[in-house]
Chain A
């Protein structure tokens, strides 16, 4: 395959429209006759709904409908169907919707919602997953046994555990019993919020023939269609989902969130568009949130550093509803090993109901949570073995076809992890015995340190998670490449255009990528998640192009009067083999060839293509199977400075090395790495979800949920190494990269803090206050 454009930094195709404001988002939509929805939300984390008085609200001006959960019999979910559009009988998390008002104006809806009186009877709330697992814990879903679960998920009825995923390989218990060193430690990765710039928004209506039409700020329009079809028992063609520009997703918009509710509300005002856009506070507190994993690691090694086995217990505090979290459970579990070969394994990962907002996808999808723990554990184990942490890692990584936790054999063709580790170690002066002294911190009351951590991630996908595309050729030889992945800032539209131009050997200017998706016209796409779009879309285009070329060659053969096998193609020209003068331009045949007398051969070429990798279901007992289809390996490291008087941790350098197979667009790849690092950095330094003892969210505002600001990042250096080990058998040859820069930032920084100041963290955040507290406890503070 040629690479005229792959590997070049083509400018972002959506930059100008976003900077000028030409791009319109869901909240910008004003449709004729549009009405507005507003919710009454629970102030309590767990409470029985005793009564809801809606009479005063119904009498308010402009009110069209007042709806409660009991008015809406529809069930929502995928894999496990456990949620209702609004709470019924009881609320399970603070800010859960209890009643809704639809009114002519947003102001009328708010004023009417103020008049709804809800009486609650408090129930004990469980926020900490350990409390939710106690034998006498309040059951958040007492009716779980009646829920629909698809096969291969294992709820433990009579408890709060809605899925227990197990990985078994050999006899880990026996291996640890005879290991030279066994290290045991507990860890926690706390709950975080997505804090997208654009809040969730949906505008939906039900037409007179019972169809739903909606505009949504969503990552995955076809997944929304699936959830709606199942909730409302509608055929797919009765639902039209439209998606366009998205102001940030980070996983929070990958599952359906407010869309089923907006459609349910639209049924109460048939024919009218219902607009429902979350406020900033609702977006933070009432939509899906992320992470929330506790882990207990027991790892055994021989004196020489060879790992012999691990027993790992992970518990995901999944929040009030399980369906958006249930697939995070296996992803956290099967990557808890990190990229290290363990001859024996016993990993139990449980998804547990708790009384917080539901946990959903959050850039990394379980991988950063469990690998945070393993990468901390590797540093602690290295110390127990009196070994260099880099050396310990290099000794145990997969490279020669060792089996991973899923039983897949991983060799160097999956990527050069050793090269990534060496690049980061070299950048930070690690792994080569005692570090060179380097420049001392300018202030004696500050200390510096370095740390690194490996990472691996594969898409967590269904086996039939198709990616597809349509190539629609135009009269002038330009082509629409129509796909249904969403670009929420990753740059996928730009990168895919480069890939498409190279696959078709056409100038970039002749390839157009529409920004808007409409499930009536756009081809199926499972979801824009799992860092999959660029990787899979290239393969889908290659498949479609093969079909398109065949169709055009058929026309060429008819026009030129030769066998189809005689026709070759290069750079937009079809020609007869060895007779380049007998040629037709692509634009002469891609829309039918018009002969001099006016009759035609062929017609407008519109072809589809698809791609899905080989995957199988996991074995229900051992958890093993080909459930991860494309691994990307890498390493991240950090150099930090700690102010011993204030506890303030300042990253100086955060290094990332990933083996991405092939870089499509160097500028965008680098931006994606830096963006991913900064995203993760927030959760390490300043972002934290604060719950009161009763379970209320105390910081549902950007005033107190602190995402990093430009001032926090501008002095950090972000060296990036993108290795390009070819992907066997892949014409495009790129690996997934989008979530990966967020995976190992936390353990790299915590390991660096340990190196700098000798304080050990097993959880997050590393706020100045918590670091100073640790320093004071250790006696190292000079405040």
Chain B
């Protein structure tokens, strides 16, 4: 049951910023699929909820050259159905994440920007945006500023927004057509569930081991989504042999130190599964896996 709060529905960005600047600790509402759960728990009752949905300037989805712009009001379903997205293998991970995101009803309401702004360590789009090296567009009283997504995340449910600011859009660089990507996760049931842990992978030049660049990020293994630079380096620029993969899997497991209090997966299981998901992703994305060095 919700405790009472004030509700505002601004119709312009200026009005929104004015409200956010004057009402301390107010919360922004877009899809509400995270916010309403939090409100219902009653632990934190914000003085005001400010609804973004009547601000026409806050866009949905658009493409600006090699950048996909995800506006504050773009829902998961809209992303999944965005024309042309299926032709960008480097963004396959966005559609794969959408396919397991909550359930159909939640996907219709939940926004991508909200998923990032909520800063949940296991959010589907957290690890995706980390590997895509997306930029967060922040709007506030002194205009716009941008941050790399990894600097936007400060901790569990804690982001870099200051009072008066809101997350206006995500700018996602579209990888070259030759890139491939995937999003994978483990959950307790096959249907609607939060990820026990997840892994996003982007491989540039996947077919040429020498030029290959691999990025991977994991969710629900740390306070914030997490890249694995050492493992990325190990798996870039050379053939991935069975031996190298075994070494990389060990290194990946060792790179995380999850808290033991999670209800969704134990530290030991997370360590085993990040390695398994990385291997499964490579199996899927590389033409040949593992790759043995030519004699």
Which residues of chain A have a CB within 8 Å of any CB of chain B?
Answer: 106-107, 110-111, 114, 279, 645-646, 685-686, 690, 698-699, 703-704, 706-712, 767-769, 772-773, 776, 781, 783
Given contacts A107-B1, A646-B276, A690-B263, contact A767 B194 (CB under 8 A): no
Q: Closest CB-CB distance, B252 to chain A, in whole Å?
A: 12
Alpha-carbon gap, A71 to B113, bound state (A): 51
Please state if A709 and B1 are interface contacts (CB–CB under 8 Å).
no
Given contacts A106-B1, A710-B191, contact A769 B265 (CB under 8 A): yes
Residues of A contacting B266 with CB < 8 Å?
Answer: 769
Stretch of B71-79, B138-146, B182-190, B208-216 on the interface side: B182-190
Residues of B contacting A704 with CB < 8 Å?
Answer: 263-264
Q: Other than the known A690-B263, A703-B37, A768-B188, what 19 A-B pairs have Cβ atoms closer than 8 Å?
A: A107-B1, A107-B4, A110-B1, A111-B4, A114-B3, A646-B276, A685-B189, A686-B188, A686-B189, A698-B263, A699-B263, A707-B189, A709-B189, A711-B189, A711-B190, A712-B189, A712-B191, A772-B269, A781-B272
Closest to A712 in B: B190
Is B268 on the interface with A (CB-CB < 8 A)?
Answer: yes
Residues of A contacting B235 with CB < 8 Å?
Answer: none
Across chains A and B, which 4 residue pairs bring their CB atoms closest together, nearest first? A709-B191, A711-B191, A711-B190, A769-B269
Q: Closest CB-CB distance, B103 to chain A, in whole Å?
A: 9
Residues of B contacting A111 with CB < 8 Å?
Answer: 3-4
Closest to A648 in B: B186
Closest to B187 in A: A706
Q: How many residue pairs, one in A and one in B, have C-beta atoms under 8 Å apart? A: 58
Given contacts A107-B1, A110-B3, contact A783 B272 (CB under 8 A): yes
Alpha-carbon gap, A652 to B4, bound state (A): 49
Alpha-carbon gap, A704 to B265, bound state (A): 11
Question: Which of chain B's residues 1-33 have a Cβ closer than 8 Å to chain A?
Answer: 1, 3-4
Is B192 on the interface with A (CB-CB < 8 A)?
Answer: yes
Contact of A768 among B186, B191, B194, B263 (CB under 8 A): B186
Alpha-carbon gap, A645 to B37, bound state (A): 34
Alpha-carbon gap, A532 to B268, bound state (A): 46
Q: Closest CB-CB distance, A199 to chain B, in whole Å?
A: 13
Please state if A646 and B189 are interface contacts (CB–CB under 8 Å).
no
Contact of A703 among B4, B186, B194 (CB under 8 A): B194
Alpha-carbon gap, A769 to B186, bound state (A): 10
Question: Which of chain B's residues 144-199 have a Cβ closer than 8 Å to chain A?
Answer: 186, 188-194
Alpha-carbon gap, A718 to B193, bound state (A): 24
Residues of B contacting A767 with CB < 8 Å?
Answer: 188
Q: Helix, strand, loop or mixed for chain A's interface? A: loop
Q: Closest CB-CB distance, B157 to chain A, in whole Å?
A: 15
Is B226 on the interface with A (CB-CB < 8 A)?
Answer: no
Please state if A645 and B276 are interface contacts (CB–CB under 8 Å).
yes
Residues of B contacting A107 with CB < 8 Å?
Answer: 1, 4
Alpha-carbon gap, A773 to B269, bound state (A): 8
Given contacts A703-B194, A706-B193, A712-B190, contact A783 B3 (CB under 8 A): no
Please state if A706 and B188 are interface contacts (CB–CB under 8 Å).
yes
Is B273 on the interface with A (CB-CB < 8 A)?
Answer: yes
Is B275 on the interface with A (CB-CB < 8 A)?
Answer: yes
Q: List 11 A-B contacts (CB under 8 A).
A: A686-B189, A698-B263, A703-B37, A703-B194, A711-B191, A768-B188, A768-B269, A772-B272, A781-B272, A783-B273, A783-B275
Please state if A709 and B190 are interface contacts (CB–CB under 8 Å).
yes
Q: Closest CB-CB distance, B48 to chain A, in whole Å?
A: 18
Question: Which of chain B's residues 272-289 have a Cβ closer than 8 Å to chain A?
Answer: 272-273, 275-276
Closest to A685 in B: B189
Please state if A646 and B186 are interface contacts (CB–CB under 8 Å).
yes
Residues of B contacting A114 with CB < 8 Å?
Answer: 3
Please state if A706 and B265 are interface contacts (CB–CB under 8 Å).
no
Q: Closest CB-CB distance, A448 to chain B, in whole Å?
A: 18
Alpha-carbon gap, A279 to B2, bound state (A): 12
Q: Closest CB-CB distance, B180 to chain A, in whole Å?
A: 22
Residues of A contacting B272 with CB < 8 Å?
Answer: 772, 776, 781, 783
Residues of B contacting A106 with CB < 8 Å?
Answer: 1
Residues of B contacting A711 with CB < 8 Å?
Answer: 189-191
Q: Closest CB-CB distance, B109 to chain A, in whole Å?
A: 17
Q: Closest CB-CB distance, B183 to chain A, in whole Å?
A: 17
Given contacts A704-B264, A773-B268, contact A783 B276 (CB under 8 A): yes
Q: Closest CB-CB distance, A497 to chain B, in whole Å?
A: 34
Alpha-carbon gap, A781 to B269, bound state (A): 12
Alpha-carbon gap, A279 to B37, bound state (A): 13
Alpha-carbon gap, A707 to B193, bound state (A): 10
Which of A646, A698, A781 is packed against the most chain B CB atoms within 10 Å? A646
Residues of A contacting B263 with CB < 8 Å?
Answer: 690, 698-699, 704
Closest to A704 in B: B263
Q: Closest CB-CB distance, B122 to chain A, in whole Å?
A: 12
